[in-house]
Amino acid sequence: MNTSISSKLLKNGSYINGQWQTSSAEKIDIINPATNQLICEVHDANADDTLKAVDAAAKAMPRWKSKTAKERAGILQRWFDLIMSHQDELAAILTAEQGKPLAEAKGEIAYGASYIQWFAEEARRIYGDVIPHANSNSRVIVIKQPIGVVAAITPWNFPNAMITRKAAPAIAAGCTFIVKAAAETPLSALAIAELAHQAGIPAGVFNVVIGSDAPSIGKVLTQDPRVAKFSFTGSTPVGKTLLAQCATTVKKASMELGGNAPFIVFDDADIDEAIKGLLISKYRNAGQTCVCANRILIQNGIYDEFSKRLVDAVAQFRMGDGSKDGIDIGPLITAKATQKVKDLVDDALAQGATSLHGDTNNPIDGQFYTPTILTNVTPSMAIASNEIFGPVAPLIKFDTEQEAIDIANDTNSGLASYMYTRDIGRVWRVSEALEYGMVGINEGIVSNEAAPFGGIKESGIGREGSKYGIEDYVEIKYLCMGGIDK
């Protein structure tokens, strides 16, 4: 390996059936997006390797599901402990391959691990039901059983947490699991596979496939009849393709897809709190999250003051290599992603928006994009209907509550939304009117392990985290028991 990171957790091949796969002649270059330097090469797995992972997961299923919930919980708890005791090492790997600042990477490791701990606890609470039957001679009993082999495809923006959020409930419920982690950021996935191994997760129960041929690997994971459930986090267009593929074997599928989050600030809001919430919601991970504020709707009475204070706050950000001290904003993941952000900003400027912060010439310094604030944005501009996935805040002025709701809902997306107001009646009215799976009320972060993360409309199907998150990994079986009357 040609790398500046030294860690025993650095692995260079897929983890299938408890073995590291390092025989492929093809390699994937793993590039640090801050420096454009090669971190290392990882063996490129293909569709045949993916089939081997499905074989292993199917073979491991009977033994894993027959373990008691208490045994599964204990193993998951060990995995959690190992991840947390390697938090700094895992964060350094994550920052190197993904670019987010080290403090944020550490936060992601803890966030990802929190799902493991949560579902270790939840494993023991997969309760059934006894329901009174219509006849006195019978009873209705509902039991919940692990659905079977689970396959997942996860993105590069959260190389750790998007895996644990799916793997932990699957493994807790008694399922076996295969993830195709993003080829841009495989090292975090492989590092937690090593810790899964050390925690005693048996061979075949947790498998990681790293490969550049996403369509072929995706076809195996979505079409093999032995895979009972498929879970995806990524873009809406790719999600639609994968969902159609899942239909060929009528697989249960959950999708966590793109967002277009409105961030609504009413005249009566606490402006300091709203700015604080917006900075985290908009600029976390350099704007590369599905729940990032995408359209900032500000009521006209506070528009000028809010804009000014936002500029002052954003001017404090320091952009640079996330492994260095004091950095708030890292690079974007690829040159292509950076160009897309630039194109959206250029288009908005050409349509009449003006820049309050950020260079209007939009120079691209490697993959770094200056945190930008645009004013005079209108809902019809491309920047208001596309997921920006970059550190750009487009400000849109509105007059009435109804106008804000109408603008917010005028999209096919429905993942996260945010509002800042002190009016309790408005909190209820607007929360109920927003067509979104999640509403942050005076909160810029909605993500945590106790909450049912997920979207409606074209933003997805299913929930991750919370007591609801386990439901996607179990199958309901109904037992009709008769012969009770004498």
Sign of CA dihedral 307, 313, 315, 317: negative
> Which has the closest alpha carbon to 395: 474, 295, 479, 485?
295
Is residue 222 within 8 A of residue 245, CB to CB? The reply is yes
Q: For ligand SIN, give the closer residue by CB, 119 or 266.
A: 119
Q: For ligand SIN, give the closer residue by CB, 176 or 447.
A: 447
Q: Judged by CB under 6 A, does residue 154 bind ligand SIN? A: no
26 counts as catalytic: no
> Which has the closest alpha carbon to 123: 472, 478, 470?
470
**x/- site string to ligand SIN, residues 180 to 219, per CB under 6 A?**
----------------------------------------
Tokens representing residue 267 in the block: 């005249």
Q: Judged by CB under 6 A, does residue 290 bind ligand SIN? A: yes
**x/- site string to ligand SIN, residues 79 to 118, per CB under 6 A?**
----------------------------------------
Sign of CA dihedral 347, 349, 353, 354: positive
Residues between 22 and 81 with contacts to ligand SIN, criterion CB under 6 A: none
Which part of the chain contacts ligand SIN (CB under 6 A), choosing from 72-80, 181-189, 288-296, 472-480? 288-296
Which member of 254, 372, 447, 459 binds ligand SIN (CB under 6 A)? 447
Shortest gap between Cβ of 450 and ligand SIN (angstroms)? 13
**What does the alpha-carbon distance between residue 21 and residue 54 come to, in Å, rounded to a whole number?**
15
480 counts as catalytic: no
> How many Å separate Cα 226 from the centre of its chain?
25
Q: Judged by CB under 6 A, does residue 291 bind ligand SIN? A: yes
**Number of shown-chain residues binding ligand SIN (CB under 6 A):** 8
Greatest C-alpha distance within the chain: 86
**What does the alpha-carbon distance between residue 213 and residue 236 come to, in Å, rounded to a whole number?**
19
Q: Judged by CB under 6 A, does residue 289 bind ligand SIN? A: yes
> Which has the closest alpha carbon to 465: 146, 118, 160?
118
Q: Which of 40, 175, 246, 290 is catalytic?
A: 290
Tokens representing residue 436 in the block: 């979104």
Is residue 22 within 8 A of residue 42, CB to CB? The reply is no
Which part of the chain contacts ligand SIN (CB under 6 A), choosing from 62-70, 202-210, 289-297, 374-382? 289-297
**What does the alpha-carbon distance between residue 446 and residue 458 come to, in Å, rounded to a whole number?**
19
Q: Which of 104, 108, 184, 256 is catalytic?
A: 256
Which part of the chain contacts ligand SIN (CB under 6 A), choosing from 24-32, 55-63, 142-150, 284-292? 284-292
Binding residues vs ligand SIN (CB under 6 A):
157-158, 233, 256, 289-291, 447
**Residues marked as catalytic:** 256, 290
